[in-house]
Amino acid sequence: MIGLLRKLFCRSYSISIKGPAIYVVWHRPLEQWSSRDHAKYLPQLREAMSKTVTADIWKLLQEHESHEDEWYKAYVDGIKEQLCKDFNLDMIGNKVITGYYHGDMLVIGFKANKDITYPNYYRAIQLKPYFN
């Protein structure tokens, strides 16, 4: 009975903001989301992302035309450096990389420590930690 109630009333995901970081937790597989949760997810994620940067930066991030825009690449490189400092990541040996993602977005990938919970987004840039 409790499982049924949880399924009916529990959101399919949660989004939390902690300073410049956004953490997203999916509580059930995407296929089990309600149509309401599907409709709300991206707008809520974008709203959360906008809260981690200034209004000017958010506007520029929304208006960039290509992952090859010099301003956009420089912004992501700056975020990569800040991320390395904040999470003690090593940029030597190409362990922290910038990658191209669908939607003409750049993402930051890095070898992650399995004992650390990393944010999904950092200053409005998506992170892709990987484990060996």
Domain ranges, ordered by start, for the chain: 2-50, 66-130
How would you classify the pairing of strands 13-18 and 125-130? unpaired
pTM here? 0.84
Q: How far apart are CA 61 and CA 87, in angstroms?
A: 23
Look up tokens 């506007």; give the residue.
Answer: 59
pLDDT tens for the chain, residues 1 to 132:
555 555 556 789 999 999 999 999 999 898 999 899 989 999 999 999 999 999 999 988 888 777 778 888 899 999 999 998 888 887 655 578 888 776 678 899 998 888 889 999 999 999 999 887
